[in-house]
Amino acid sequence: MSTKAVKLQSELKMGAATRAAFGDALLELARQDERIVVCDADLSKSTMTHKFAQAFPHRFFSCGIAEANMVGVGAGLASAGKIAVVSSFSCFVANKGFEQLRVAVAYPQVKSFKVVGTHSGISIGEDGPSQMAVEDLSLACALPGFVVISPADEVSMKALFRAAVYHDGPVYVRAGRAPAPIVHSPDRAFELGKAVELVPGADVAIVATGLMVAEAIRAAEQLETEGVSARVLDMHTIKPLDREAIHRAAAQTGAVVVAEEHLVDSGLGVRVAQVVAETHPAVMEFVGIQDTYAESGTPAGLLEKYGLVASNVAAAARRALDRKKQG
Amino acid sequence: MTGKKSLEELQALTKTIRRRIVEMTGAAKSGHPGGSLSAVEIVATLFFDVMNHDPQNPHWEDRDRFILSKGHGCPVLYAVMAECGYTPVEQLNTLRKLGSIYQGHPDRRFIPALEASTGSLGQGLSIGLGMALAARLDGKPWRTYVVLGDGEIQEGQIWEAAMFASFHKVDNLVAIVDYNRIQLDGFVKDIMELEPLADKWRSFGWHVVELDGHSIPALREAFAVPAAVKGKPTVVIAHTVKGKGVSFMENNPKWHGVAPSPQEVELALKELA
């Protein structure tokens, strides 16, 4: 396989957190579009909507620590002609606001409603499991009509958040707290529902989302030294899935690994497995959070302990290759 | 825009609406007649006398918004909207049947003129507040009306919304509590007491109006007040009788969620003749 496309680990430059990229993109879009309004539940300094709040105080609605009402208010604003961006930590807005996302947004299909959950996954670090969303993708995918995205870096967040704002339907945007390595070139074009192939490969395909995309690239680099050609797909859109890209990966490599910072039995992995089963059954392995809650620690320490680093992805790829060989 | 009705016309209409509620729920063999009958004057006064709206142009931008947050009371809303001309009167008796636009709870996918899909209690006030804020941002004069059930306001989200409304000084929204004092399992006082109800709303920063929710003149007067109350939201606590207008349904918890039999429909219609 071509080595030119492979970014070496040392070349993955650290970028901004996806929440920061969201905050910047929001401000930029809001300057050009008066319809954009924001609701936040006392976390604007963390979700990064505070920049919008400072620039457009009359279009920012402080909702207090009351996520259910916040989602409803956002649904009302969106129903009356606004583009409502509703933001909090993923675990609060997706869990405490789920019933409202279901009945006030998804069910009547309030199209200009966009929810941005930050501090997703376990990489938030020291605050611990009560603040860690490990099930938000599962919840968001259970909302009919929602598009669900999980950008990997600042480049893709900026482009995909814009696409989300102007998508004709409700969108769930997953953002993270920790700085994210930059995996995309600045000029890359993104489309909702279209995976990006970051590394070409023929032996095994790694389908990753969010922070795990960088780990997948690092794993592919490691595998290459072992003579294994690993394809890496950034599956930034969890719903609707890019069925063609998954079908191609399964058909062309026969071994698919899915990597996500989410409960492994209810996130991207099971959704990809469904498509693989429907299109081209192949050997599969899954990297994600097992049936547990994490704990306090540094982001890096937690990702290591809970099996979400490049070595885990590479090991999963080797298992998949072994099983493929065994037929 | 709908032509506004005289008091006599309105009072005659409330009988028609009540008959249709009885017929619809009877035909459906399920549904919620009690809490529909208690809200007849509230909903009819709003649609026929208070709100600016245009059944020929349901998405007119400057229309007043109405949300039936107590979605199970939808027979009254369907009967009133049909009478306005939004939806066909002749299909009212398809309520709750497969393919009917008259779903078991208000569903905007079936009736796009509905402002919200409701049925999961506690949500309508928040949605209405978002709409009211949009009107304020746009400098529009339209108003938002949200009808709440009394049992419904046991939901915590209502009080999140109540706090939000006064904090944001939302004075272009009126909430109406259909205070019929009965919920599914029995009398409100025995399930989860709400009193002192007016004091609760006042302590949350609302302007409170209490009235007889079956008095059209009182409702008319009350709906004129909020326009004059600046800087705070208004709640109308409408004292009503569950099952109002049908003697055997009045004030009886049984009729929260049970449909009348064909014989009971006949009896009720005689009383409402």
Tens of pLDDT, residue by residue over B40-73, are 999 999 999 999 999 999 999 999 999 999 999 9
On chain B, the residues whose CB falls within 8 A of the CB of A170 are none
Least confident window among A159-163, A257-261, B81-85, B220-224:
B220-224
Q: What is the pLDDT of residue A147?
A: 98
Please report whether residue A6 resides in a domain.
no
Q: What is the pLDDT of residue B99?
A: 96
Please report whether residue A188 resides in a domain.
no
CATH label of the domain that carries residue A111: 3.40.50.970
Task: Note whether B140 contacts A: Cβ–Cβ < 8 A.
Answer: no
Cα–Cα distance, A316 to A324 (Å, whole number): 12
Residues A28 and A129 in one domain: yes
A82 CA: distance to closest CA in chain B (Å): 7
List CB contacts of A206: < 8 A, sequence separation 6 or more.
A216, A219, A220, A230, A231, A232, A233, A256, A257, A258, A259, A313, A317
B217 CA: distance to closest CA in chain A (Å): 30
Residue B4 confidence (pLDDT) above 90: no
A126 CA: distance to closest CA in chain B (Å): 29
Tens of pLDDT, residue by residue over A245-276, are 999 999 999 999 999 999 999 999 999 999 99
Q: What is the pLDDT of residue B225?
A: 76
Beta carbons of B146 and B128 less than 8 angstroms apart: yes
On chain A, the residues whose CB falls within 8 A of the CB of B130 are 72-80, 84
What mean pLDDT comes out for the span B15-30?
Answer: 98
On chain B, the residues whose CB falls within 8 A of the CB of A84 are 130
On chain A, the residues whose CB falls within 8 A of the CB of B142 are none
Residues A115 and A233 in one domain: no
- Residues B160-181: b if buried by 16+ CB within 10 A, e if exposed: bbbbbbbebebbbbbbbbbbbb
Over chain B, what is the mean pLDDT?
96
Q: What is the pLDDT of residue A1?
A: 34
Residues A124 and A240 in one domain: no
Burial zone of B99 (CB within 10 Å; 0-12 exposed, 13-18 middle, 19+ buried): exposed
Tens of pLDDT, residue by residue over A113-148, are 999 999 999 999 999 999 999 999 999 999 999 999
Among A181, A205, A240, the domain boundary falls at A181
Please report whether residue A68 resides in a domain.
yes
Cα–Cα distance, A60 to A93 (Å, whole number): 17
Is the ipTM beyond the 0.90 threshold? yes
Least confident window among A238-252, B19-33, B223-237:
B223-237
Nearest to B120 among A63, A81, A103 (CB): A103
Burial zone of A263 (CB within 10 Å; 0-12 exposed, 13-18 middle, 19+ buried): buried
Task: Mark yes or no for CB contact A100/B123 under 8 Å.
Answer: yes
Residues A131 and A208 in one domain: no
B227 — pLDDT class (breaks 50, 70, 90):
confident
Best of A62, A69, A112 to substitute, by most chain B Cβ atoms within 10 angstroms, is A69
All domains of chain B, ordered by start, with CATH? 7-271 (3.40.50.970)
Q: Which two tokens stand for residue A195?
A: 């995976």
Among A152, A181, A210, the domain boundary falls at A181
Please report whether residue A267 resides in a domain.
yes
Query: Domain limits at A322?
Result: 193-326
Task: Note whether B170 contacts A: Cβ–Cβ < 8 A.
Answer: no
Count of domains observed in chain A: 2
Q: What is the pLDDT of residue A53?
A: 98
Annotated catalytic residue A99: no
Tens of pLDDT, residue by residue over B98-151, are 999 999 999 999 999 999 999 999 999 999 999 999 999 999 999 999 999 999
Q: Count Cβ–Cβ pairs < 8 Å, chain A vs chain B.
A: 108
A196-199 vs A237-239, strand pairing mode? unpaired
Closest chain B residue by Cα to residue A70: B126
What Rg do the C-alpha atoms of chain A give, in angstroms? Answer: 19
On chain B, the residues whose CB falls within 8 A of the CB of A97 are none
Cα–Cα distance, A173 to A194 (Å, whole number): 16
Cα–Cα distance, B54 to B61 (Å, whole number): 10
Please list the residues that pair with A237 across neighbouring strands. A149
Beta carbons of B105 and B118 less than 8 angstroms apart: yes
Burial zone of B255 (CB within 10 Å; 0-12 exposed, 13-18 middle, 19+ buried): buried
Task: Mark yes or no for CB contact B130/A75 under 8 Å.
Answer: yes
CATH label of the domain that carries residue A261: 3.40.50.920
Please report whether residue A163 resides in a domain.
yes
Give chain A's residues under pLDDT 70: 1-10
Among A122, A148, A181, the domain boundary falls at A181
Residue B202 confidence (pLDDT) above 90: yes
**What is the percent of chain B with per-residue pLDDT over 70, rounded to a whole number?**
99
